[in-house]
Amino acid sequence: MDGPSLDASSYRTADQKLGDFFDPARPRTSFSDLDFLRISTALQACDRRAWSLVPRLYTVLRIIGRLDALDKFIDEGITDVWFPFTNNRLPRALGSSMQAAFLDTQELVYTKGLSLETGGEKKHAHFSSGEKLPFRVLGVLGEGGYGQVQKITSLISQQTFARKEFRRGDSSAIKSEVKSFLLELQILKRLHHRHCVELVSVLTMRWQRLIKRHKVASYTDARHFAIIMSPVADYNLLQYYKVVGDDPEKKTALRRFFGCLADGLAYLHSEKIRHRDIKPQNILVKGDRVFLTDFGISLDWASLSRSTTEDDHAKTWMYCAPEVAENEPKNTLSDVWSLGCVYLEMTTILKGSSLDEMGHHFKGAGQQSYRYYNAGGKIATWSAALRKQGLDWDNLALDWVASMLHRTVSHRISAATLAESIKDIRLFHSGCPVSFCGDCCEKLEEDLGEWEADEDVWNESNSKSSNAEIQAGSGPMSMDPQVLVIAIDFGATFSAVACGTSVDQSWIMQTWPGQYGQINSDEVPTELRYTNEGIEWGFRIPPNVVRHQWFKL
């Protein structure tokens, strides 16, 4: 339906304009995204800020005559992203008859903009000329010859995203960009990793419980193709180099990027994807997390028989591998070379030098730029100079660089082996005081299954005994079902959680986790230690050695 204009010359109040949308004399047809923008604007003018963020909920509740329930929806964290609703997802305060009315009316507010964030695994959406896009542009993050990357806010979920736009057109250059767009979209649909940017995932929560997760794919309008992604970065890695300085927190984060980037690249290769353009500008930093991005020229060889190709026209000369520059057969190890160049730059910053100093070392007389693949022995001489400065433990990164920058492809380390080597640093260097891997990529979770099987930590008989006592209704657990008491023991050797319904604290202490507890967790090790023979825990860990915290509060 066509809504009224909210231009400044209008003499009617915002409340009157809202009434025009809900005139009983007007036939009720579906609303448009532009309608909801106008409704939201009018609600703001009426000093209804919270209501303006949920114009679709407002519309349905107003039509069925239950605007009094809107604040209840908002208090429970329910927003427009929750559409479409079912009976069990509506607040009980509505009552059964009004719930039925709500469900019958909600189809009126379904729009293309809403389907972008709530329509499940959408392939693509199309907005015709004049249709309002449900986003507000907050700024430009980057620009290229045929488009730009913008920071946007959804007018539906209020979440902030990055939007990559490509201009539509008939020229051969633009068609090439469209091909890149479609390739990147295809790859992004497959990616789900903590260190790769993704198509936007919209999480619908209720009472801290995940209701559903959607991936927003892409859309076209009359002028553009667009991909919506997350996260919105604080910096790219090249920018981050310049802000690290002597900031200990930023240096710690940068050091941990080694393991995280290796983990992300290993994931891509396991998914049969070659990035083909790894460079600092294509690595994003958000807080203390790092992400690989820009898959527009990546190669997906999932349908091919091998990961080697002889066709690789797209590249960034400075970071490309020798075989790429020389148009020789290349494979995933070409990505490893490019990441090795990035590692060398990261180590340069950690060691207290600058990229300008590094560039001066690499450039020949009269040269304005340099390329790592034809640097000859300068990589080795620069690495040797770095070893003499800064923190000695950072020399480990130079060892990885050496294993990644072999000119002979077959001699390079794989991304998977590199990631494992970085995760195992403290296994082979027990005195290492720094971490080269973020907590997100620590190896502890991966080894847990083997540790559980080898050490038989989880005592099933204890939990069975506890469950039997509960079912029998014995002990203080049956005394007062209205009270819940939870106790946590964070011990030097073991940790555990116990809970009960008695307010008698002495009972909690007397029935601490173990075979006599009522409802509790089994005791678990507070700390673990990796050795060549396996995993040690509890009293088996010798004093004054490196150990990992397992149980965390």
Q: Per DSSP, which regions of 44-188 are E strands?
A: 125-126, 135-143, 147-154, 160-167
Integer CA distances (angstroms), 12 to 62, 177, 401, in order: 20, 47, 69
Domain with CATH 1.10.510.10 in the chain: 235-442
Per-residue pLDDT of the chain in tens (553 residues, 90 and over written 9): 444 444 443 335 666 778 778 877 776 678 888 889 889 999 988 888 899 999 999 999 999 999 999 998 888 878 887 888 887 778 877 888 899 999 999 999 988 777 766 655 545 677 877 788 888 999 988 876 667 888 999 888 888 888 888 777 666 666 666 667 666 677 777 777 788 876 664 444 343 333 344 444 678 887 888 888 877 889 999 999 999 988 999 999 999 999 999 999 999 899 888 888 899 998 999 999 999 887 654 444 444 444 444 445 556 889 999 999 998 988 899 999 999 999 999 999 999 999 999 999 998 656 667 899 988 899 999 999 999 999 999 999 999 999 999 999 999 999 999 999 998 887 677 788 889 988 887 754 444 344 344 434 334 444 443 444 334 444 333 334 455 556 665 555 556 666 655 444 444 444 444 433 344 455 556 666 666 555 666 556 666 666 666 554 4
- Would you identify the CATH topology of the domain 235-442? Transferase(Phosphotransferase); domain 1 (1.10.510)
Distance CA 476, CA 466 (A): 13
Distance CA 400, CA 443 (A): 18
Indicate the DSSP class of residue 28: -
Domain with CATH 3.30.200.20 in the chain: 125-230
Q: What amino acid occupies position 312?
A: D
Q: Which residues contact 408 (CB under 8 A, 6 or more apart)?
A: none
Integer CA distances (angstroms), 352 to 241, 286, 346, 359, 372, in order: 11, 23, 10, 15, 21
- Would you identify the CATH topology of the domain 125-230? Phosphorylase Kinase; domain 1 (3.30.200)
Integer CA distances (angstroms), 292 to 141, 262, 279, 391, 466, in order: 16, 10, 9, 27, 47
| 220's tokens | 């076209």
Tokens 């290796």, residue? 262
pLDDT of residue 81: 76
Predicted model pTM: 0.62
